[in-house]
Structure 1
Amino acid sequence: MSLRGKIGAGAIALASTPLILFLGTWEGTGQNIVYGDKLARGLPTVCKGLTEHTSPYPLVIGDFWSDARCAEVESLVIRKGQLALADCLTNQQIGQNTFDALSSHAHNVGTSNTCASRAVGLINAGHLAEGCKALAWAPNGTTPVWAYVTDAAGQKHFVPGLHSRRRAEARLCIQ
């Protein structure tokens, strides 16, 4: 059964409660006022990481979003992202934790980037443990990946908090 089939059959949940809680750990909770995310060069962001690239509604710095609006739009955005992610996952053995870990990664770096990642390539090839590890580490096993931001001058900077998130995603992925 395909991953979309597992979703349709209820074996894999979209916007699962554990995923929402996991995203809250990394994206914050109570972010009801649209702010300029410093790590994303001022990208307007609200709720649990909603941006102008994911939200169906405009984001204006300083605008207030109610908890109900955050929950509604987050659920919509997460589900939409997960359905797109499901289309690039071909390994029939993927379970909820792996799907949630990849969903968190995609929510943070973009679904197309996650789908094109070495991690998804390995997972699709049946190398689950190696693919999960690849969410946080380069092939040498010691160099962090997906934990850098590029500043306005084009310089890359390591962000320890992003690497902590990647390591947490890798742990969730393999559970």
Structure 2
Amino acid sequence: MAGPNRNIVATVVVAGATLVAGSPFLMSFLQKWESGKARVLVVYADKLAGDLPTVCDGLTRHVTTTPIIVGEVWSNEKCEAEEAAAVIRVQAQLAPCFKVAPPQVVFDMATSHAWNVGASSTCSSGAMAAFNRGDFERGCQRLSRGDDGRVVWSFTSKWVGGKKVLVFRQGLANRRADETKTCLEGWS
């Protein structure tokens, strides 16, 4: 299995700080939660995302401009190139949302969150509000839990009896908890 391309080093300016874009740590973290030990090389319809065509380590039309067609087979090299470009695009959307320079790991975990729920959602989140007050501990905690202790960002919606309802997803809760844990351990 080819891993994330660790030879490419790009930077992004976030609230005046220069951080690594698409850091090797982030790319490994995304692979862990998106596809496990091996990239998914055959495009599939992600049931939890409403049959959204998905490939590699979570590439969808929401993060890449390359068409993704169910059943198509991708190579590891194509995945690496597309993932690197897509992560940098997501980070370019996320960077202006930070008003206080974050530690690298905070930026990486905010990126993981944005990769999964969308940059605009992460930018408007309680986690970002805390990051922008310089309260990185609270921001990291808010990636997975609200201030009342309730699990957040761990639900998908579906239609039941003509009504849209939220469905708790343990896998998303596990990912959010790992983002929080990694975020807290990495900067404190």
Residues in 1 aligned to 2:70 and 2:159: alpha-carbon distance in whole angstroms: 20
| RMSD over equivalenced CA pairs, Å | 1.2
TM norm structure 1: 0.92
Alignment of 1:113 with 2:121, yes or no, is yes
2:22 aligns with: 15
1:163 aligns with: 173
> Is the 2:99–2:132 contact (alpha carbons within 8 Å) kept by the matching residues of 1?
yes
**5 Å matches for 1:140-151?**
140-141=148-149, 143-151=150-158
Residues in 2 aligned to 1:54 and 1:164: alpha-carbon distance in whole angstroms: 22
1:16 CA displacement = 0.5
- Which structure is higher in strand share? 2
Q: Deviations over 1:44-76 (max 9, x none)?
A: 001111111222111111001110000000000
1:88 aligns with: 97
Residues in 2 aligned to 1:31 and 1:132: alpha-carbon distance in whole angstroms: 29
- Which structure is higher in helix share? 1
Residues in 1 aligned to 2:103 and 2:134: alpha-carbon distance in whole angstroms: 13
1:128 aligns with: 136
1:6 aligns with: 17
1:4 CA displacement = 5.6
> Is the 1:4–1:83 contact (alpha carbons within 8 Å) kept by the matching residues of 2?
no
| Equivalent residue in structure 2 for 1:26, among 18, 22, 33 | 33
2:5 aligns with: none
> Is the 1:147–1:162 contact (alpha carbons within 8 Å) kept by the matching residues of 2?
yes
Amino acid at match of 2:56: C
1:5 CA displacement = 4.0
1:152 CA displacement = 3.4
> Is the 2:42–2:72 contact (alpha carbons within 8 Å) kept by the matching residues of 1?
yes
1:139 CA displacement = 1.4
| CA 1:126–1:5: 2 relative to 1, 3 Å | closer
Gap regions ≥5 residues in structure 2: 1-12
> Is the 2:31–2:39 contact (alpha carbons within 8 Å) kept by the matching residues of 1?
no
Q: Deviations over 1:59-95 (max 9, x none)?
A: 1110011100000000000011112111100112x11
> Is the 2:61–2:68 contact (alpha carbons within 8 Å) kept by the matching residues of 1?
yes
Between the two proteins, the alignment pairs up a number of residues equal to 168
Q: Among the aligned pairs, what percent are the same residue?
A: 36
Alignment of 1:173 with 2:180, yes or no, is no
> Is the 1:41–1:152 contact (alpha carbons within 8 Å) kept by the matching residues of 2?
no
1:128 CA displacement = 1.1
Amino acid at match of 2:27: I
TM norm structure 2: 0.86
